[in-house]
Structure formats: C-alpha cells, structure tokens
Chains A and B, each alone.
Chain A
C-alpha cells in the first residue's frame, strides 16, 4: 500500500517545485514575471513557426 502511495506521490508531486519567489524583468515601466515572459515568447515562436513550417497535405485533388 505504501509503495503504491509512494509511486503516486512521485508522479503526482511535481518534479520541479515552482513555489519559490519568482524572478521578474524590469523593462522601462514594464514588469513581468519570467513565467509569463516565457509563455509570451513561446507564443510568438509557435505563431511564426506555424506560418513558416511547410504543411504537406495529400496532393492530387480535383476541382
């Protein structure tokens, strides 16, 4: 029983604990947490990647 609990605890407890004081960028009057900054930068990357990466669909369609 305790082994199972230990397994669940390992999976369900987080591997990286983010419950520490965060880091923030100060850019002029803008303040942003690293977490949010990463999300926003990722969004921009994914957006441009989605537009630039070729999308190969099945060819040979008809009118």
Chain B
C-alpha cells in the first residue's frame, strides 16, 4: 500500500499544508556540518569558561546564619516554637495548619495532602534540644513547656516574641528585655547556642537517618529567617526583582524564564495569595498554546503575515518567481 492509492484531495490551507518539492536538490554534507558546529561550540564554551568561570557562592548554614545574625535566628526560632512561622502555617505538603492555594474550587495541593510532614515546634526546637547531653536546665525547660496548657504557652511566646525584636547578642549570650516568658527564654537561648555551635545543622539533617540527602527541614528553617532573603535581595534574586531570571554576581542566568517571572509582577497575581497557582496555570495554558500552534488558526498565520519568510527564502523566491522588472 502506498500513499498514492489513498491520496485524498482537500482544500490547500496555506498555514497548515505545504507543497511537495519537485525542484532542484543540492549537495549538503550533514556530517561535516555537525562536526563544524561541534568544534565551534567546544571553542565557544571553553573560551567562555576560561574567561568568565562560573559562580559558587557558599551556602548558608544554620551555624553561619546564627553567628551572623543571632537576633534574627532567635526571632525565627520563636516562630517555629509557637507555630507561626511560614513553614508552620504553610499547609500541604508540610502540614494542615494552613490553606492551600486555589483557583475557584480547584486546590490540587489540598487534594494531594501532606507528604513531607513538618511539625515546627518539635522538629526545629524541642526535638533537637532534647538531644543535648548534660543540659538538665534545658531538659527541665522542655518538660515545663510541654506540660503547660496551650494558652499558657501562647502567653509566654507572645511576650517573648515582642521582646526578642529588641534583643541583643552580647558576650556570647542572647540578651532579651526582662519579662515573664516562662521556660521560653531558656529554650531559645539554648537553641541559639546550639545553632551557633553547628550542632543544630547536624541534628536537623540526620534526625531520621544517617545518610541524609533531603535538606527540606534545615532549608525551610533557614528560609523562614530574614537573613537568607536579605542576601538574595542584595543579589537581585528576589521575586519582586525578577530574580527568577537572575544568577548570583554578574553572570547571565535563566533568561528563558522571562515570561514565567513576568506574571508575578502584574496584577492581580502581584498581590494575590494564590499567585503561584495562578501563574503556573497561566503558563500551562500558554505552553499548551505554543505546542498546539499548528492547530490554531490565526496564531499559525503569524509567520505568513509577518513575511519574515520572504527574507529567509529570498534566493528561492528569486529563482521561482517571474521577474517582471524591466
């Protein structure tokens, strides 16, 4: 069976169909073209690498963060303890303490539920602190906190939260304006000391297994503080700075993400609490449109309307078009 016997005729749609070529062929060495391209690319890549290198900014650790800004660390640790941090109130996939993003009745994150459970008070503060050896005061503070009522815990943490904003770090100690914070003072002071020693990094990573490759817990903790975001802001990496496209230093970044990050800068996404889902959904629609251009009248006519093809194939048109110029 060949195409000839089943050939059907249908109206020729110039943006959908193409004519069959019965014209001239010319020699074209694909293998040579590939080899030349490959050599050119290698030279270009090697040149760029030799001249510019690549960036490698050192990662932030809980240790480096708490040493650089102990007050920011302490403030963040308190929000983890009292379950008010961004992670604590995130909702799925970390917990059920927050509302997943939605568009109308559609809330896929809610449907998929919790898959990476994080209980910030226990995972970030009480759990690591309970592993400290030779620290009876800390263990007593943990016991006192755990046995107190929820409202009592709230009273302590609210008071401490207001005070720690004005805290200082002097002579290796967190100094908070005096007040009635119950065991919270001991807990946060011990947490800060543990962080500054580096022990908290290890505790957060290996809490479940020795060979950890999942950095979700320590990373979310670090991201809840202002320190990481301040570093990012200085390098124009923040969302409001079109940061998704950027790289650290002066290196070119991911220019191909221009459209994705653009939508975050325009209303209503700019101020919406469902911005992420809205932008993602929009990009899925636009990507589908790109993939389906061949099927979409109007969109698939743009190449013909813009006439750039006359430039690309100008030699061909010179050859086949009647020259009626005198």
- Contact check: which of B25, B54, B241, B252 meets A35 at CB < 8 Å? B252
Interface size grouping (class) on chain A: 35 or more
**Could you mark each residue 20-55 of chain A with 1 if its beta carbon is under 8 Å from any beta carbon of chain B, else 0?**
111110000111111110111000000000011010
Q: Which B residues are CB-close (under 8 A) to A23?
A: 250
**What residue in chain B is nearest A48 (Cβ atoms)?**
B311
* Known contacts A16-B52, A21-B234, A21-B235; A61/B25 CB under 8 A: yes
**What residue in chain A is nearest B49 (Cβ atoms)?**
A14
- Contact check: which of A20, A40, A63 meets B22 at CB < 8 Å? A63
* Known contacts A14-B51, A31-B242; A58/B255 CB under 8 A: no
**What residue in chain A is nearest B313 (Cβ atoms)?**
A51
Q: How far is the CB of B41 from chain A (nearest CB, A)?
A: 13
Q: Is the CB of A16 within 8 A of B246?
A: no
Q: Which A residues are CB-close (under 8 A) to B24?
A: 61-63
**What residue in chain A is nearest B234 (Cβ atoms)?**
A21
How many A-B contacts at CB < 8 Å in the complex? Answer: 92
**What residue in chain A is nearest B48 (Cβ atoms)?**
A14
CA distance A58 to B252 in the complex (A): 39
CA distance A61 to B57 in the complex (A): 56
- Contact check: which of A30, A35, A51, A52 meets B251 at CB < 8 Å? A35
- Contact check: which of B25, B55, B265, B311 meets A18 at CB < 8 Å? B55
Q: Is the CB of A51 within 8 A of B255?
A: no
CA distance A19 to B255 in the complex (A): 18
Q: Which A residues are CB-close (under 8 A) to B23?
A: 63
Q: Is the CB of B247 within 8 A of A35?
A: yes
Q: Which A residues are CB-close (under 8 A) to B241?
A: 24, 31
* Known contacts A33-B245, A62-B24; A22/B255 CB under 8 A: no
Q: Which A residues are CB-close (under 8 A) to B49?
A: 14
Q: Which B residues are CB-close (under 8 A) to A51?
A: 308, 311-312
Q: Is the CB of B235 within 8 A of A58?
A: no
Q: Is the CB of B246 within 8 A of A36?
A: yes
CA distance A1 to B25 in the complex (A): 58
Q: Which A residues are CB-close (under 8 A) to B234?
A: 21
Q: Is the CB of A22 within 8 A of B51?
A: no
**What residue in chain B is nearest A39 (Cβ atoms)?**
B252
Additional A-B contacts beyond A12-B50, A23-B250 (11; CB < 8 A): A13-B53, A18-B249, A18-B250, A20-B249, A21-B235, A33-B253, A35-B251, A39-B252, A40-B255, A58-B27, A61-B27
A: which residues have CB within 8 A of B? 11-24, 29-36, 38-40, 51-52, 54, 57-63
Could you jot down 12 A-B contacts, CB within 8 Å?
Answer: A12-B50, A14-B51, A15-B50, A29-B266, A31-B242, A35-B252, A36-B246, A39-B252, A57-B27, A57-B28, A62-B25, A63-B23
